[in-house]
Amino acid sequence: MKHRIVVLGAGYAGAYSAGYLARQLHSDDFEIIVANAELDFVERLRLHQLAAGHELPHRPLAEVFAGTDIQLRLARVTSIDAERRTVTIADGADTDRLEYDTLLYALGSTTADNGIPGVAEHAFHVAARPSALRLRSRLDELGEGGRVLVVGGNLTAIEAATEIAEARPGLRVSLATSGELGGWLGPKARRHVLGAFDRFGITVHEHTKIERVEETGAVAADGTVFAADATVWAAGFAVHPIAAASGLAVEANGQITVDRQMRSISHPDVYAAGDSVFVIGDNGRPLPMSCASAGYTGTQAAAAIVGDLTGRKIKATALSYVGNHISLGRKDGIFQLVDGDAHSKPGALRGRSAARVKSAIVAISAWAVSRPTFGKPNHKYRLATTREVSPKLVTA
Ligand SMILES: Cc1cc2nc3c(=O)[nH]c(=O)nc-3n(C[C@H](O)[C@H](O)[C@H](O)COP(=O)(O)OP(=O)(O)OC[C@H]3O[C@@H](n4cnc5c(N)ncnc54)[C@H](O)[C@@H]3O)c2cc1C
């Protein structure tokens, strides 16, 4: 019997980690199965572009994993039984149960409705491809002067509002945020963001807490009604409830609690990476949900799995948070670095050069995930048996 590793989710963390595992582990001893709801590797970093009307390249996971020993199951994960080591997946009306010896949980996150009534029923969001496409269809229906309200003042709200306003100049875009728009940014970056909003004609309502979303707009805590033909909810991300329901130890927000090697603290045969994981970064603060964090935690989780199963020494991956790159449409952006306390530095790269840096980072991230055979090692590692303290190194 081979040791079965099941990877849940093939986004930035899951797809990258699965490729890493396939490169390092010998297929005589290990079976790697990846379960993912989407047919493609979805570049989540670009979903606001998709919603605004741009096309994204299709990257079918079957092609991404071609040439590896990874088995792909295109299905929705519905539950995990961490005691029995099983995962239930659903493909349409059909359900199946996958048994695992080792699990890597990387299901990412979705939009956080923050308990606000009407968000689930009436708002649009860009946290997943189906929802981004739904918003795009709605925008297509709106004629000249159609009103779009974006709720949120952070990265995704800024990117969504500017992208929509640039791609669809006939629409009237506004943004409502409970705090300040980009309030965490350094002064130069914030001024630049406000300047971009001004240029795009986006109306900004700061210190405005939306309390209810309706079919025809949103209502603020002070009773102000914002009429909108499409309300885009971009007020943060929340993890899927599957981990909390599985019996794994989770934080209050549902993120899986792990050790420095990304092992679940309650179930050491379960590892987690990406948005789903709660881990303290090298700066002593929780790592933010981000593509970079998905890369670090995915690499660390895969290295720990290889080490734990083969007896190799586990290399520590840096868990850094250096800053944010934010697009302001296709030709503008900012790259805001943070200091060791995660506070924005006073300066920031701005304008077209920042937009180019962002495009390059997005492209490199997609490239790294979709080339699992790149950097294939000369050796693959065998499963360490209980009697075998050091792993058997064999030629692949
Ligand atoms: C519009 C937008 C812009 C962003 N921009 C940036 C940015 O500029 N920089 C940055 O660092 N971060 C950005 N982010 C955040 C970044 O995308 C996430 O932090 C990152 O994708 C997390 O990686 P992940 O692998 O944990 O999750 P994901 O990349 O979301 O991957 C999760 C995978 O699991 C699959 N999945 C989910 N649920 C199930 C299920 N029940 N069954 C089966 N499969 C499932 C999904 O289909 C997906 O393939 C942005 C996010 C959005 C939405």
Q: Which of 7, 40, 44, 58 to mutate to test the pocket of ligand 1 (most atoms within 8 A of CB)?
A: 44
pLDDT value for 389: 37
Q: Report the half-sphere exposure of 375 (CA within 13 A, side-chain side).
A: 11
pTM of the predicted model, to two decimals? 0.95
Instruction: Output the ligand 1 site: residues, CB below 6 A.
Output: 9-14, 35-38, 42, 44-45, 47-48, 76-77, 106-108, 126-127, 156, 159, 240, 274-276, 289-292, 294, 325
If one residue of 291, 322, 337 were mutated to test the ligand 1 pocket, choosing by the most ligand atoms within 8 A of its CB, it would be: 291
Q: Which of 73-82, 306-315, 371-380 has the lowest mean pLDDT?
A: 371-380
Strands annotated E in 75-209: 76-81, 86-91, 94-99, 102-105, 109-111, 147-151, 172-176, 203-205
Q: What is the mean pLDDT of residues 161-170?
A: 98
Distance 11 CA to ligand 1 centre (A): 6
Alpha carbon of 69 to ligand 1 centroid (Å): 24
* pLDDT tops 80 at residue 37: yes
Q: Quick count: other Cβ atoms within 10 Å of Cβ 108?
A: 24
136, 167 in Cβ contact below 8 A? no
Extract the tokens encoding 196: 């971009």
Confidence of residue 240 (pLDDT cuts 50, 70, 90): very high
pLDDT tens figures, 17-28: 999 999 999 999
The residue whose CA has the least distance to atom 51 of ligand 1 is: 45
Q: Which residue is associated with the tokens 């490199």?
A: 364
Of 151, 160, 135, 127, the C-alpha closest to 49 is: 160
Query: What pLDDT is stored for residue 316 in this prediction?
Result: 95
At residue 8, the 3 state secondary structure works out as strand
Minimum-distance ligand 1 atom for the alpha carbon of 10:
49
Closest CA to 7 of 109, 88, 104: 104
pLDDT of residue 392: 41
Distance 384 CA to ligand 1 centre (A): 33
Q: Is the pLDDT of residue 36 over 90?
A: yes
CA of 192: how far to CAs of 34, 161, 327, 333, 389, in Å?
42, 15, 12, 9, 57
Ligand 1 center–CA 276 separation, angstroms? 10
Ligand 1 atom with the shortest distance to the CA of 160: 1
- On the CB side of 144, CA atoms within 13 Å amount to 0
Q: How far apart are the first and last CA of the chain?
A: 19
Give me the residues paired with residue 88 across strands: 79, 97
Q: CA–CA distance from 358 to each of 238, 323, 334 (Å)? A: 24, 12, 8
- Tokens standing for residue 126: 């860009």
Q: Which of 8, 39, 45, 321 to mutate to test the pocket of ligand 1 (most atoms within 8 A of CB)?
A: 45
Mutation to probe ligand 1, out of 290, 293, 327 (largest number of atoms < 8 A from CB): 290
Count of other CB atoms within 10 angstroms of residue 241: 11
Residue nearest to ligand 1 atom 50, measured at CA: 45
* pLDDT of 386 higher than 90: no
Percent of the chain residues past pLDDT 70, beyond the cut: 97
Q: Which residue's C-alpha comes closest to atom 27 of ligand 1? A: 108
Higher pLDDT pick, 376 / 148 = 148
Token pair listed for 315: 């290399």
* Model confidence pLDDT, tens digit, residues 351-376: 999 999 999 999 999 999 999 888 77
Ligand 1: residue whose CA is nearest its atom 38: 107
Q: Are 313 and 307 in contact (CB under 8 A)?
A: yes
- The one-letter amino acid code at 372 reads P
The residue whose CA has the least distance to atom 5 of ligand 1 is 45
Give the separation between CA 298 and CA 362, rounded to whole angstroms: 17
Nearest protein Cα to ligand 1, atom 2: 45
| % of the chain beyond a pLDDT of 90 | 93
Best mutation site among 107, 232, 337 for ligand 1, i.e. most ligand atoms within 8 A of its Cβ?
107
* Separation of CA 378 and ligand 1 centre (Å): 32
Query: Is residue 5 a contact partner of residue 30, using CB atoms and an 8 Å limit?
Result: yes
* CA 167 / ligand 1 centre spacing (Å): 23
Closest residue (by CA) to atom 4 of ligand 1?
A: 45
Residue 236's CB is within 10 A of a number of other CB atoms, namely 17
How is residue 382 annotated by DSSP? P
Residue 282: strand, helix, or coil: coil
Question: Would you say residue 263 has pLDDT above 60?
Answer: yes
Distance 144 CA to ligand 1 centre (A): 32
Query: Alpha-carbon distance 243 to 85, whole Å?
Result: 13
Kindly give the number of the ligand 1 atom that is closest to the alpha carbon of 111. Answer: 53
Give the residue-averaged pLDDT of 210-226: 97
Q: What is the DSSP letter of 286?
A: B
Across residues 78-103, what is the average pLDDT?
97
Beta-bridge mates of residue 205: 176
Maximum C-alpha span of the chain: 72
Q: How far apart are CA 366 and CA 120, in angstroms?
A: 30
